[in-house]
Structure 1
Amino acid sequence: MNPVTSFFRSGQSGPLHGSGGEMCTTVVSIDPHSAVPVLLIGVRDEFLDRPWLPPGRRWPHRPELVGGQDLQALGTWLAVNPQVPRVACVLNAHGEPAAQSRRLTRGELPLRLAADGEAGDLDITRYDPFHLVWATPQSVRLWSWNGATLDERALHAGLHIIVNSGLEGADESEGPGAAQMRARIEYFRPLLEKAPRPEPREGAVESAWGEWLPLVSGAGLDVADARALVLRRSIEAKQWGTSSLSLVALTRTGARYDFCGDPAEARPVWSRVL
């Protein structure tokens, strides 16, 4: 089944668990002729005191899934199913929030899509606005929900950048941070396009991701820079910023997943998950 069809069912879902945080930027590189057709960069921005666990098999009812777990609501911002292979991740979007009395957390959505390839019976009006990326080696799709309408599109060969204001910042006039999102896209797109596209399969993180790794790790920009991919901000006396970075590569038969949980350190530490 094309997973988009399931989003239009009217069934009510039961209580769900998930992450209320956001992953501020997702980059997807698609090359159908490559041995690694899909590369995904996931940048999660969140209040830094929100507790979470690094990627692992955190969901006994979905033992095939690997992802970081948000401990406030027990869902995830990104989930990998290495058996298929498949990856799904969610970002906050701009729009009308769901009614507080009916709201379900968006962190369940990557789990559903990564596990089943479809959302099942889902009442989308119970979720705050989101962008949801779903990828297999053969197909990449993006859904954007603004609280009123759902937009679905296939992503084709090339480099795609999704931020909270949408694909390539298309909805930047509708929400906060528009200038920063535009600056981020304008700075990092040419750098990623110029660097040789990696084909990460085996080996250490540094050799597998090549020239992409220092770019994803921040490209040397200060965390206060408006263009920064790895950032820090103070919001109402609380620290907010990039809490983790994920790199996912899908071959036709498997998945590679590399993770950095301290991206603002002077020397970010990367580890291989899958």
Structure 2
Amino acid sequence: MAIMCTVAVSFEPSFPVPLLALAVRDELLMRPWEAPGAHWPRHPGLLGGIDLVAGGTWLAVDPAARRAAFVLNGRGQLAPEHGRRSRGELPLLAASGAPLPADLAAFDPFYLVTAGLTGASMVSWDGAERDETALPEGVTVVVNSGADPAEPRAARLLAALRAGVRPDPAGGWGDWLGLAAGQGVAREDDAALILRRTFGDDLRYGSSSVTLLALGPDLVRYDFAAVPDEPGPLVLTRVL
């Protein structure tokens, strides 16, 4: 079974807050990180959680520009060991409005979602070919097989988001908060948004953090939660 990060983007241009996102980071649970902050002097104004191994991030937000970027591991041909670059650089570039490198051969496969007030787009790289697509209006769920509505976790989350009421983030996250906590699905289930896995005796992998993000002309809301080991409600910290 594949294990992956997940990003759900809801883009509704006619709404007061057109861009909402729910993002879950999955990683080896022993890999160290710090909660969102202004961690990168070379990228002033950007906020995000920092990966302390490679120094990059899985999610970066530029509040002033009303722009965010999310990176997910992809599938395909890995980059050569010598000269390999961290995919954690990519959200910092995209959120700051800088172009990606023309040659992506130094990066392992990825999906990079960039979102703002005018919509969202996704760059994919499989180790050989680069592609860029605009995401449609409405809800899109991206996992490590891309915008793949047949993947069990994406299918369940997509159906729940489309069937539910889109929250007004000025007042709270409504039903999205329960979805983000993984309520109703065991963490071992293939369709679980919040997961835990153990490989061998003690190599533990799973969902380490959840972000709920809203971008509008008059509102930026950025909430973050570390995922507890035991199932239960998320304790959100308001970043913005």
TM-score by length of 2: 0.93
CA distance in 2, matches of 1:264, 1:40: 23
Contact in 2 for aligned 1:85/1:253 (Cα 8 Å):
no
Change (3 A) 1:64 1:55: same
Match of 1:272 in 2: 238
| 8 Å Cα contact 1:83/1:254 also seen in 2 | no
Amino acid at match of 1:267: P
Give percent identity, aligned residues only.
45
Distance between the aligned counterparts of 2:122 and 2:228, measured in 1? 26
Match of 1:193 among 145, 154, 162: 162
1:232 to 2:207 alignment: no
- Whole-Å separation in 2 of the counterparts to 1:88 and 1:253: 20
1:176 aligned residue: none
Alignment of 1:1-274 (within 5 A): 24-115=5-96, 117-168=97-148, 182-201=151-170, 207-237=171-201, 238-265=203-230, 266-274=232-240
CA distance in 2, matches of 1:242, 1:267: 14
Q: TM-score, normalised by structure 1?
A: 0.82
Distance between the aligned counterparts of 1:24 and 1:87, measured in 2? 16
SS of the equivalent of 2:23 reads strand
Change in Cα spacing, 1:39 to 1:23, as seen in structure 2 (3 Å) is farther
Kept after mapping to 1: 8 A contact 2:209/2:227:
yes
Amino acid at match of 2:169: P
| Cα deviation 1:17-59 (Å, max 9, x = unaligned) | xxxxx96111011100001101111110000000000001111
Shift of 1:164: 0.3
How far did residue 97 of structure 1 move? 0.6
| Structure with the higher helix share, 1 or 2 | 1
Deviations 1:72-123 (A, max 9, x none): 01100000000111000100000001111021000000001111x1325443
Separation in 1, partners of 2:228, 2:4: 14
Measured after TM superposition, the shift of residue 216 of structure 1 is: 1.3
Question: Is contact 2:49-2:59 (8 Å) kept?
Answer: yes
Amino acid at match of 1:249: A
How far residue 235 of structure 1 moved from its aligned partner, in angstroms, is 2.2
Distance 2:25 2:4 in 1: 4
Describe the SS at the equivalent of 1:125: coil
Gaps in structure 2 of 5+ consecutive residues? none
Residues 90 and 100 in structure 2, CA contact (< 8 A), matched pair in contact too: no
Instruction: Using the TM superposition, give the Cα deviation of residue 191 of structure 1 relative to its aligned residue in structure 2, in angstroms.
Output: 1.3
Deviation (angstroms), 1:267: 3.0
Paired residue total: 236
Q: Which amino acid aligns with 2:127?
A: G
